[in-house]
Amino acid sequence: MISLDNVSKKFGTGAFGISDVSFSIDKGEFVFLVGPTGSGKTTVFKLLIREILPSKGSIQIESWDVAKLPNEKIPELRKKIGVVFQDIKLLTDRTVSENVLLPMEVAGVAAKDAMRRVEEILTQTGIIEHKDKFPVQLAGGELQRVAIARALVLNPEILLADEPTGNLDNATSWEIVKLLSDINEKGATVIMATHNVDIVKNLKKRTIQLEKGRIVRDGKGEK
């Protein structure tokens, strides 16, 4: 479903985000992407959603060559990929429902259908009781659930979660991981970037480890 073949990304500064990275992820897999800050995790995510282009190599998502995708096809690609950003990116002047509704408005979904879907996804992610609150009124774990709900509202086939537990306490982190696992069990392919060694060790999922932009390990669990 997802394949990177000898992909490198060199930025204008001369620094490499990633170098000669190759891996494949099957439909329905749950994969951890681990490594220290600056190891290339976020670069991989940006390449997958065509926010940046590779300097060399090819990126395949299903039948699409991502680097060669015409501009008019990029929105179609991004409908397939939900992203939970590291800094959440919720709009502070909109309620929970309005934040989650936004991707459906952009996609042109009819208002009645969109609101029904928002209710469904807020229920699934356990935050329906907060639907009329603003982000400032929510705790960290609740904010992450809103971000996940927004990423899932268009029923993407792939979910990219960039450090979704980074600022959360241990109990709340496990709640978020359980939610992501449930989403994966329903069929979505999940790639989670994380620094949380405890979660990686205990969940025993496939782990791709990056250091200085290169893959140093690809296997189950953590050393």
Residue 107 has pLDDT above 60, yes or no: yes
Counts of helices then strands in the chain (DSSP H, E):
7, 10
Residue 141 has pLDDT above 60, yes or no: yes
What beta strand segments (E) does the chain contain? 2-10, 16-25, 30-34, 56-61, 64-65, 81-84, 158-162, 189-194, 206-211, 214-220
Specify if 86 maps to a domain. Answer: yes
pLDDT, tens digit (0-9, with 9 covering 90-100), for 181-213:
999 999 999 999 998 989 999 999 999 999 999
Residue 157 has pLDDT above 70, yes or no: yes
Return the pLDDT at 12: 87
Return the pLDDT at 221: 55
Return the pLDDT at 166: 86
Specify if 223 maps to a domain. Answer: no
15: enclosing H helix or E strand? none
Residue 26 has pLDDT above 80, yes or no: yes
Return the pLDDT at 70: 92
Return the pLDDT at 220: 76
Structure tokens at 65: 């060559």
Specify if 94 maps to a domain. Answer: yes
- The percent of residues in the chain predicted with pLDDT above 90, rounded, is 85
Return the pLDDT at 56: 96
**Which residues, 6 or more positions from 48, have their beta carbon under 8 angstroms from its beta carbon?**
2, 59, 61, 66, 81, 158, 160
Expressed as residue numbers, the domain containing 171 is 2-217
pLDDT, tens digit (0-9, with 9 covering 90-100), for 37-63:
889 999 999 999 999 999 999 999 999
The structural domain count of the chain equals 1
Tell me what the mean pLDDT of segment 24-41 comes to: 95
Question: Is 146:127 a contact under the CB 8 Å cutoff?
Answer: yes
Q: How many residues does the chain have?
A: 223
Where residue 116 sits, what CATH number does that domain have? 3.40.50.300
Question: Is 211:221 a contact under the CB 8 Å cutoff?
Answer: no
Specify if 144 maps to a domain. Answer: yes
Return mean pLDDT, the chain.
93
Specify if 51 maps to a domain. Answer: yes
pLDDT, tens digit (0-9, with 9 covering 90-100), for 163-175:
999 889 999 999 9
Specify if 15 maps to a domain. Answer: yes
Q: What is the DSSP string of 180-207?
A: HHHHHHTT-EEEEEE--HHHHHHH--EE
Return the pLDDT at 86: 83
Specify if 222 maps to a domain. Answer: no
Question: Is 112:120 a contact under the CB 8 Å cutoff?
Answer: no
pLDDT, tens digit (0-9, with 9 covering 90-100), for 76-105:
898 899 999 888 889 999 999 999 999 999
Residue 34 has pLDDT above 80, yes or no: yes
